[in-house]
Amino acid sequence: MGGLMFYAMDSPLGEIRIFVKDDMPLGISLTGHKTVKTAKSGQPPRRISQLLLAIERYFQGKAIPDAFACSVLENYVEQPPFAEAVLREVIHISIGETLSYGEVAAMAGKPGAARAVGNIMSSNPFPIIIPCHRVIKSDGTPGGYGGHPNMKIWLLGFEGVPISLR
């Protein structure tokens, strides 16, 4: 059994890490820093290569297919039923679109659970693949993004959604 390790890639946002254990992806971290040399080297396993390629293609302006994101959710994420429903709804928010936390809550079957949706977004293990950055506050401001609201603004701007902290 292997220990916790990560594969890293550079992106316009800085280093992106895919954490793995026993060749199973556990999650993605957007560090905002330059890549460090402590990442695992060598050819990553197929499932990790698929995640890296999907992220690379995203930064080339190509959409991550909903089917791919759904397979990540089904195969690598264990969530309570409401959280899973929320993440499924978020997967279907297209590039260039946003929904409010409240809208996502209603779509997932719990109108009024905007705060719960915010908590689920903050613990999304696969940002970019499951595009939690497309969920914003009802007043049009971005809301949180792992302590990096400027990353959320950058990602939305990259997708053609003008947004600011106000």
User: What are the catalytic residues?
Assistant: 132
Residue 104, C-beta contacts closer than 8 angstroms, at least 6 positions apart: 86, 89, 90, 114, 117, 135
Query: Which two structure tokens, joined as six digits, stand for 59?
Result: 């930064």
Closest to 159 measured CA to CA, from 24, 63, 47: 63
DSSP type of residue 61:
T
**Alpha-carbon gap, residue 51 to 48, rounded angstroms:** 5
Helix (H) or strand (E) holding 19: strand 14-21
- Contact of 150 with 138, CB cutoff 8 Å: no
Query: Which two structure tokens, joined as six digits, stand for 47?
Result: 């499932």
